[in-house]
Amino acid sequence: MRFATRANGTTDGELMLVSQDGARCLPMGARWPNLLHAITDWNALLADAKTLSATLDAGGGDSVSRDTLLAPLPRTWQWLDGSAFANHGILMQKAFDLPTLETYPPLMYQGMSHRFLAPYEDVALPTEADCIDFEGEFGIITDDVPMGCSAEDALAHIRLILLINDWSLRAVAPREMKTGFGWIQAKPACSAAPIAVTPDELGDSWRNGRVCLPLRVEVNGAWFGNPSGDAMEYGFHDLIAHAARTRPLCAGTIIGSGTVSNPDYRQVGSTCISERRAIEMIEQGHPVTPFLSFGDHVRMRAGEDDSIFGEIDQRVAAHIATHP
């Protein structure tokens, strides 16, 4: 099943079932007004979605209007972002001469979840001096996960899979990281691709709790990278078990993979500027690729068939301060 959220004047939007080709959609109806509500009673939702899908299969439904699409969860209660690609950590440590972090247990921080930007919405940030960067990630949405859930049991709690851009401000990040408290200013709102899919939609590309698809990034129309999600050191089920050791996870929790990164980066590139700059520092002695400027465009898709998650295609813009 494929789901999207359509703007309807509410903060949480309207939950839509989407056709296999991503072109048509149907509202899930009054029983399932939005995804944040629906995720709390997932099996009942899936049963209703199966009934509705017959209408879509028969060519029914509305055409998907790109400009009305929001993030699948425009807001949620919890966003826990991992950093599960070992290669990314190795490159950053090498370039910046950082201490080696133990890779067990998994790295994870809690980030802003009260707003996920729509896939085509401008990304408004206060200043280019913060060194604006993106991070291409896969993510999953859980239902209710009890405290103490094992990694094995956690697989069944992965209800939807997402494509996420975790916007990051690199001039701020090291200072916040040094405190040990994680990031507040360095991690503004993330963006998400419009279509959230159940794991079975990925077929063989969903293996060991990993999204085994290339994540394709373009900046201002030029290729930036297409590394694959299969290189995660931990699967999403491991990340769930890590997060749930001392807390239950509520339905609607989104867990991120961290920047997708592969050891053959010379061929497949990177999914964030910071990593490419680290490679340049290692190989050329200094960074070459600039961070983003206002007006720059960042596009993200996954797999060869772009319709799986749809795409994120955004412009970075100057935030205009409003009256308090």
Question: Residues in the site for a copy of itself, rule: CB under 8 A?
Answer: 75, 77-78, 80, 83, 101, 105, 107-115, 124-126, 130, 145-150, 153-154, 156-157, 169, 172, 177-186, 188-189, 242-243, 245-248, 250, 253, 319, 321-324
Cis peptide before 290 (omega within 30 of 0): no
Retrieve residue 50's tokens. Answer: 């199966």
Q: How far is CA 203 from the centre of its chain?
A: 20
Retrieve residue 314's tokens. Answer: 């955004």
Q: Nearest-CA neighbor of 22 among 141, 159, 195? A: 195
CB of 77 to a copy of itself, least distance (A): 4
Nearer to a copy of itself, 186 or 215 (CB): 186
Residue 231 CA to residue 229 CA, distance in Å, equals 5
CB of 225 to a copy of itself, least distance (A): 23
Cβ-contact 9, 68 below 8 angstroms: no
Nearer to a copy of itself, 43 or 322 (CB): 322
CB of 295 to a copy of itself, least distance (A): 19
SS3 of 218, please?
strand
Residue 304 CA to residue 266 CA, distance in Å, equals 20
Residue 200 CA to residue 298 CA, distance in Å, equals 28
CB of 205 to a copy of itself, least distance (A): 25
Nearer to a copy of itself, 183 or 206 (CB): 183
CB of 99 to a copy of itself, least distance (A): 9
Beta pairing, strands 196-197 & 215-219 = unpaired
Retrieve residue 22's tokens. Answer: 């991503």
CB of 250 to a copy of itself, least distance (A): 4
Nearer to a copy of itself, 17 or 149 (CB): 149
> 21, exposed or middle or buried, with CB in 10 Å at 0-12, 13-18, 19+?
exposed
Nearer to a copy of itself, 18 or 70 (CB): 70
Nearer to a copy of itself, 46 or 101 (CB): 101
